[in-house]
Chain A
């Protein structure tokens, strides 16, 4: 049995990926600025130290070609969108659409109707159903692995869903994260801890007008184990790193 995790994807997916990227790029000017406007001026969100965050992320991208898997904590449905806005200036996505991270949202939340399915498509999402068949889950993991090996940025929530406790939890840890890390040589994991300053627990969106604090830490998880044990080990390291970031966040607010 091969020791290499899934890296092969069908020709159909490669075509779909290219089409999704190009269509997203073409229609980007029509949805990215309004979306950022909504986050900033309708919802009133402000990102703390946004310039420093963007500079740090830019340095990470420039210092190495190694793939980056973004692993944030998960409290709201729009975490991935806020993070995308926080780490790269919105106008840069218009010029370099490839920098928009691929994301794997819960299908039930985002791809229910025809319109949301279109939005999911142009915003480079790969929806996944929680509790879906193992083969379907493996297909999504293969796609993300493929994209990372191409040098693209992907985002996965290692907690496996929005934390019901409001704190980083390993209750439903997504061990597929570990599987992807194991499948992508040299994969760096960018752990991001994000929280609105009035955010007590999980929800649909952060509270309106929130100042959003974001801290990040990049590392390369390693494990000497094999198979499923290795996947669990790698995913656990990511969640542990998020937990440390959370500790730092709350220590700083005491």
Chain B
């Protein structure tokens, strides 16, 4: 799942590709195939990701000790190191994700969650 920066890059690249293409020869554009990922995003996942991000931030807020980091939260924000969420409380956060998004998260999945983006991507992948 591309992050917001990657989405931006893919979008610009796709638009450039379409501008340079002649009707019927778009498939010849070298960048076109790899931009399928962006197109999939364009079809509906961007909204879903932003909604998930909003939900994740809402759930994290009561556990955050560093309010400054919360104000500037992004996909790259580390949940434990930047937001200073107590690691022992991470399980409560994860269970709140399960309840909010009606998904089931395995213990192993939790090990992959370091940043807000990791959490968002995990939830989006479970939803899909």
Contacts and interface: CB of A to CB of B under 8 A. Distances in A.
A161 to B, nearest CB: 9
B91 A175 contact: yes
Secondary structure at the A interface, as helix, strand, loop or mixed, is: loop
Contacts of A133: 114
A231 B88 contact: no
5 contacts: A5-B108, A130-B87, A131-B87, A135-B111, A138-B111
Interface string B60-84: 0000000000000000000010000
B107 A227 contact: yes
Contacts of A231: 91, 107
A108 to B, nearest CB: 15
Contact of A227 (B87, B92, B104, B111): B104
Q: Is the interface of B mostly helix, strand, loop or mixed?
A: helix
Contacts of B109: 1, 227
A28 B107 CA distance: 37
B94 interface: yes
Contacts of B88: 160, 171-175
A172 B95 contact: no
Nearest to A172: B88
A55 to B, nearest CB: 35
Interface residues of B, number: 20
Contacts of A1: 106, 108-109
Contacts of B111: 134-135, 137-138
B12 interface: no
Nearest to B113: A134
Interface in A1-56: 1-3, 5-6
Interface string A172-189: 111100010010000000
Interface in B78-128: 80, 86-88, 91-92, 94-95, 98, 104-114
A205 interface: no
Interface string A213-231: 0000000000000111101
Given A131-B87, A134-B114, A173-B88, A232 B95 contact: yes
Contact of A228 (B80, B86, B105, B112): B105
Given A229-B95, A232-B95, 18 more contacts: A1-B106, A1-B109, A5-B108, A6-B107, A131-B80, A134-B111, A137-B111, A138-B108, A171-B88, A172-B88, A226-B104, A227-B105, A228-B91, A228-B94, A228-B98, A228-B106, A228-B110, A231-B91
Interface in B32-76: none
A229 B107 CA distance: 9
B95 A5 contact: no
A194 to B, nearest CB: 22
A75 B100 CA distance: 37
Nearest to B118: A134
A179 B107 contact: yes
Contacts of B108: 1-2, 5-6, 138
CB-based closest 10 A-B pairs:
A172-B88, A175-B91, A138-B111, A228-B94, A134-B111, A232-B91, A227-B106, A179-B107, A160-B88, A1-B106
Contact of A134 (B105, B106, B110): B110
Contacts of B92: 232
A137 B80 CA distance: 13
Contacts of A131: 80, 87
A138 B107 CA distance: 9
Nearest to B125: A1
Interface in A167-213: 171-175, 179, 182
